[in-house]
Amino acid sequence: MNRSHESAHARPEAADGAPRRCVNLGIVAHVDAGKTSLTEALLLRGGAIASLGRVDDGTTQTDTMSLERQRGITIRAAVATFEADGVAVNVVDTPGHPDFIAEVDRSLAVLDGAILVVSAVEGVQAQTIVLFRALRRLGIPTLFFINKIDRSGADPERVLRAVAERLTPALVPLAQVHRPGTTATESEPCTWDDPQWADETTARLAEHDDALFEAWLDPAQPVGEKRLRASLAALTRAGTVHPVLFGSARTGQGVEQLTAAVTEILPASSGTGDGPAVGQVFKIERSPAGQRVCTVRMREGTLHVRDRAVLGPDRTATVTAVEVFAPGGPVAADAVAAGQIGRVQGLDTARIGDWIGADTTAAASVLPEPGLEARVIATDPLRQADLHRALADLADIDPLIAVRPDRGAARIRLYGEVQQEVLTDTLAAEYGIDVEFHGTTVVCVERLARRANAVVRMGDPGHQYGYSLGVTVEPAAPGSGIGLAVTANLITLPMHVYGNADGYRDAMRDYLIAPLSEGLHGWPVTDLLVTVVESDYPPAGPRALDVKRTTELVVREAVRRAGTVVCEPVDRFELEAPATTLSAVLNLLGRHRAVPDPPQTTGTLTVVTGTIRAAEANPLRTALHAAAHGEAVLETALDHYAPAKTTR
């Protein structure tokens, strides 16, 4: 960890000794809307950096990975800090590409507020809508920043109308733009002494503030600026209205106004430094020495160096070092307190998403698991073992990257092609391993074709374990998962090994994981009932290992006899597109084997719902970009599994 010569206090203090307000701010946007450039502009305005970095030049503060600098995109969330008006603002820069939506979602959960950046040229784009819906779901107060007003083709008014139509009508513009699309463009802040703007803004706020509405109607109680500012802040913090500002991150236009809005309107971090430490791990890196460095948002209490941190019901770890974020970069500290974001060492068993202490406040992620899987091999066969270790290491950083063995290679779960390319570059740059990906496909399951049974007994040729077991496997209802029943005589169960019948059943459920994790076609086997019909062991009693190995052997044989059917995922989709593109959209749905419901058109938008094979969802999404002029939003969620036309 980088250290300064002086340690920071657990909580930064203002000049008068009072605790300094802290705002943990997320900046989110569709890729290329300018969020990383806006982060640079805010840091410059706050005095945290001396000059602007450029994404294209790879000189930004938050894109620190070499791959981020090479590609000009944000891959992992990063934190940088500036100060304004006595407020410490931790800026969390998040990825914009859909392949890294997991990184975005984990970062959103630790925010006090967010800035959603929208390009004044391209306007509301597909990922803009997805991100705004995620912010609404998590209840995060959100400001809009219409960026790139100096670019040729900029039309802030058009974009503002699109935001109102596609995202939310509850907007409160705080500035007006002069000469958009030119180098002479200017974002002029609106003032409360402008009677027309003040009246329009009062009307917007009064729609959601009953007390303000009553005061507004009473001529004997003139509504003053202080009351209006308080209403704007309260409604914004509640997520009811959304202030809108305009500017250019490249030139700095509007950044001062945005900074003022962040410190005045968005809520400060809640929580007290007293009591047990409660925090959330949302990022993990490796130090140059290979140690795990956890980025933690503290919710309650204070975490000190040498504290014993609780990571779960059966895991603890000793904090060996702490850094807190400050202008110019992280600085060594004795502790990190509620409301702050810190980098913590010593949490060697922690994973992204883990809680320190009790899980109390943050909304749970509802992200689906990655829907694609690919086979990955080292181009040098002698490096295959090194590849397995490297993938396990990366899975620690991102637990949504699930890895499993596959005939001497490995199979890995992915969100998309860009993530696959980034993993290829990461393995080469950080581990020196060149790899190839093959056979990318959607993640399927296998279901039993019929009922079957299998049995092995002590003394059978080739059976070396001191335990006899017979099972029956049979198909169960779709979505039921793995069921276990026991009809064998309880006297024949090895309860002396597991304590009682319930202990035996619990152990058997664990033992079913391995034989059912990979069926006859390489996919997990699910939606079945396994029934133990026979059990026996010698007078001396079996070892737990005998029971485990025998169970795996017998269940695999029963599944082989039953046969399996590969079932591919079928998603429920909702597609939103301009009404003028409906014909082209329906044509695409047909070509991609979707089964649409009747479309619903309201105003200029059409919404189509239905089902589609998951394998067709990404190709459809790509084709929609051209058919709907980049304005279509396709959201999918697993609905059910259906027999696949081909197997792997």
Does domain 567-643 bear CATH number 3.40.50.10860?
A: no
Report which of 360, 468, 332 is spatially closest to residue 6, judged by C-alpha positions: 332
H, E, C per residue of 489-543:
CHHHCCHHHHCCHHHHHHHHHHHHHHHHCCCCCCCCECCEEEEEEEEECCCCCCC
Q: At the top level of CATH, which class does the domain 447-562 belong to?
A: alpha beta
pLDDT score for 460: 94
Structure tokens at 471: 């099972």
Query: What's the confidence (pLDDT) of residue 218?
Result: 80
Q: CA angle, 54 as apex, 62 and 72 as ends, to 5°? A: 70
Q: How confident is the model at residue 61, as a pLDDT?
A: 52
In angstroms, the CA 180 to CA 415 distance is: 38
**301 dihedral zone (left: phi>0; alpha: psi -120 to 50; beta):** left
Angle at 309 between CA 308 and CA 311, to 5 degrees: 140
Q: Which residues contact 70 (CB under 8 A, 6 or more apart)?
A: 58, 425
Enumerate the CATH 3.30.230.10 domain ranges in the chain, comma separated: 447-562
Task: Say how far apart CA 557 and CA 428 lie, in whole Å.
Answer: 40
Q: Does 3.40.50.150 match the CATH number of domain 278-356?
A: no
Nearest to 455 by CA among 414, 428, 488: 488
| H and E: helices and strands count for the chain | 16, 33
Residue with tokens 């609780």: 310
Q: What top-level class would CATH report for the domain 372-441?
A: alpha beta
Strand partners of residue 577: 606
pLDDT along the chain (648 residues), means of 10: 39 44 88 84 82 56 52 64 88 65 70 94 88 89 96 95 93 95 93 89 93 83 86 95 95 94 88 82 82 89 92 83 88 92 90 74 53 90 91 75 80 80 84 91 95 96 94 96 96 92 95 95 95 93 94 98 97 94 94 95 92 93 87 89 75
**DSSP class of 306:** T
Please calculate the CA angle 603-607-609 and round it to the nearest 5 degrees: 160
Q: Which residues contact 197 (CB under 8 A, 6 or more apart)?
A: 190, 191
As a whole number of Å, the end-to-end CA separation of the chain is: 45
* Domain 21-265 classification at class level: alpha beta
- Give the Cβ contact number of residue 312 at 10 Å: 13
Task: Give the sign of the dihedral formed by CA 534, CA 540, CA 541, CA 542.
Answer: negative
